Amino acid sequence: MCGENQYEKDSSYSKELSEAVYNLRRKSKRKNVGVIVGPISAAVVVMVLVVVFYFFRRCQNLNGRAAPSLPAPSLPAPSLSESQRGFCDDESSCERDDDDIGEINSFNLRTIQVATNNFSSENKLGEGGYGPVYKGVLEDGREIAVKRLSRNSGQGLTEFKTEVQLIVKLQHKNLVRLLGCCVQGFERLLVYEFMPNNSLESLLFDANKSKDLDWPKRANIVIGIAKGLRYLHEDSRLKIIHRDLKTSNILLDNDMNSKISDFGTARIFGGNQTEAATKAIIGTYGYMAPEYAMGGIFSTNSDVYSFGVMLLEIISGQRNNCSNFGLAQNLLHNAWHLWNDNKGEQLIDGRMEQVHMTDNVLRWINIALLCVQEDPQKRPTMSTVVFMLEDQWSGSLPSPSEPPLSYLKLASGSEQTMTTTARPAIDIINDFSTTSTFTAS
């Protein structure tokens, strides 16, 4: 009995053990199946996604392809190399944060070709050192101005990058707005908002068109330029020196509001930097400050000088060149003598009606002469200039010192590039745009 009971117990134990082993194996198989099936399923999903992405990108490229082109070079983040900052004495003072370059629209070349009738001569608005500018109309009806980098341009890709990288960071109502760019094959295009009234130069120095520029319009243009320049120097998170301020780079919108354009030669100052020097003198001599034209030194003060020249041109309707006043003088020198002799009203453009505006205009002549003083440190900042222009200056304005005389004639208009080891003598001739290389003494 005991043996039988023991046997029954052993049989029962064996049966329970067998069932336990069976269940354990069953669970193990399920786990193995899960381990195998899981990775296989994930791999299949990844492969499907890769195939879908490949065909999506292929279709996208085919649809967006306008014409065969060479690979376009990338636009690296701007660095303050020699071409960007001149020659800075302190490298650290030229550093700036390049993490936030900003977003910019990229236009397809075919879109621009259609908008400008394939860059037809009928659409051409003008041409500068950078290249030609064309008017265009996009499919949505927006009017645009397209600046096309000439392959023979003395400026080139560096200036293209500079303009894109700078203006995309700047937002002000008195700066021309960049809508986007196109870099495709050999084409380098900048797309701007269209300015229906063209440039200040095209109106101011045209005998017929200038009649429409009465004093209120001219005053509004001047205030806009001053505020735009103040923004560049003091109010934006970058301190920017334009370096090529002139009437042809001031564009006018439908309401005759002024907008500063052409930032291809602009430079960024970082930290506590106040000035820099360069071997490459780029700009227009009639608007250049003497320290820049003669020594390659530029700063906010050199931009203030250019503003002062423009202000005198706007008041007088005359260009700052020696042909108008003789080699011994220029517009600045003539203006100072008239103002100093209490004959400033003789400088005012006779095409303007001067009913009760004379006193205000004479005040602005004083401000302009403060801006074009030979000593850069004596020139006011643009904040002070705006303060003075808007009649917020209490009391009498300071008396300006005599501006620099005309420089001896450098060369004929065709000789735009020179290399010398001495400081060059430069005749202040408007519209003589140049790139000069020299070694400053």
Q: Determine whether the annotation assigns residue 359 to a binding site.
A: no
Residue recorded with tokens 């850069």: 376
- Count other C-beta atoms under 10 Å from residue 152's C-beta: 7
Residue recorded with tokens 């808007």: 390
Indicate the residue among 193, 224, 246 that finishes a domain. 193
244 and 276 in a single domain? The answer is: yes
Query: Which two tokens mark 330?
Result: 């220029």
419 and 329 in a single domain? The answer is: yes
What does the alpha-carbon distance between residue 50 and residue 48 come to, in Å, rounded to a whole number? 5
N- to C-terminal Cα distance for the chain? 126
Indicate the residue among 148, 168, 193 that finishes a domain. 193
Q: Give phi and psi for 326, each to the nearest 5.
A: 90, 160
Q: Is position 65 within any domain? A: no
DSSP state of 152: T
- In degrees, rounded to 5, the angle at the alpha carbon of residue 33 between the alpha carbons of residues 31 and 38 is 95
List strands edge to edge, sheet with 124-127.
105-106, 178-184, 187-193, 143-148, 132-137, 124-127
Q: What is the pLDDT of residue 271?
A: 78
270 and 373 in a single domain? The answer is: yes
426 and 314 in a single domain? The answer is: yes
281 and 220 in a single domain? The answer is: yes
Q: What is the pLDDT of residue 134?
A: 96
182 backbone φψ class: left, alpha, beta (φ>0; ψ -120 to 50): beta
Q: Determine whether the annotation assigns residue 375 to a binding site.
A: no
Q: Is position 387 within any domain? A: yes
Q: Which of 237, 303, 227 is nearest to 265 (CA)?
A: 303
Q: What is the pLDDT of residue 92?
A: 28
Q: What is the pLDDT of residue 171?
A: 86
Q: Any idea what the CATH number is for the domain that residue 95 is in? A: 3.30.200.20
Q: What is the pLDDT of residue 36?
A: 55
147 and 259 in a single domain? The answer is: no
Cβ-based neighbours of 268, under 8 Å, separated by 6 or more: 78, 80, 84, 85, 94, 96, 166, 238, 239, 240, 241
The count of domains in the chain is: 2
Coil, strand or helix: which one is 188?
A: strand
What does the alpha-carbon distance between residue 227 and residue 175 come to, in Å, rounded to a whole number? 10
Q: What is the mean pLDDT of the chain?
A: 76
188 and 239 in a single domain? The answer is: no
162 and 208 in a single domain? The answer is: no
What does the alpha-carbon distance between residue 181 and residue 102 come to, in Å, rounded to a whole number? 13
Residues 97, 123 contacting (CB under 8 angstroms): no
What does the alpha-carbon distance between residue 302 and residue 343 come to, in Å, rounded to a whole number? 28
Q: Is position 205 within any domain? A: yes
Q: What is the pLDDT of residue 414?
A: 31
106 and 252 in a single domain? The answer is: no
Q: Is position 77 within any domain? A: no
For strand 433-438 and strand 419-420, is the pairing parallel, antiparallel, or unpaired?
parallel
What does the alpha-carbon distance between residue 43 and residue 374 come to, in Å, rounded to a whole number? 75
What does the alpha-carbon distance between residue 243 and residue 241 come to, in Å, rounded to a whole number? 6
165 and 259 in a single domain? The answer is: no
Q: Is position 33 within any domain? A: no
Q: Which of 426, 434, 202 is nearest to 322 (CA)?
A: 426
303 and 360 in a single domain? The answer is: yes
Q: Is position 264 within any domain? A: yes
Cβ-based neighbours of 335, under 8 Å, separated by 6 or more: 312, 316, 344, 347, 365, 368, 369
Q: What is the pLDDT of residue 328?
A: 46
Residues 311, 371 contacting (CB under 8 angstroms): yes
145 and 214 in a single domain? The answer is: no
The low-confidence residues of the chain, meaning pLDDT below 50, are 2-11, 13-14, 17, 20-21, 24-25, 33, 59-102, 327-328, 408-441
User: What is the value of pTM for the model shown?
Assistant: 0.70
Query: Residue 92: which domain range?
Result: 82-193
Q: Any idea what the CATH number is for the domain that residue 379 is in? A: 1.10.510.10
Q: Give the DSSP H or E segment for 170.
A: none
Q: Give the DSSP H or E segment for 205.
A: none
DSSP assignment string, 86-150? -B-S-GGGG----S-----EE--HHHHHHHTTTT-GGGEEEE-SS-EEEEEE-TTS-EEEEEE--
Burial class (CB in 10 A: 0-12, 13-18, 19+), 257: middle
Q: What is the pLDDT of residue 50?
A: 66
Question: What residues are annotated to the active site?
Answer: 244
Indicate the residue among 164, 193, 222 that finishes a domain. 193
Q: Is position 291 within any domain? A: yes
- In degrees, rounded to 5, the angle at the alpha carbon of residue 362 between the alpha carbons of residues 213 and 302 is 80
Q: Is position 238 within any domain? A: yes
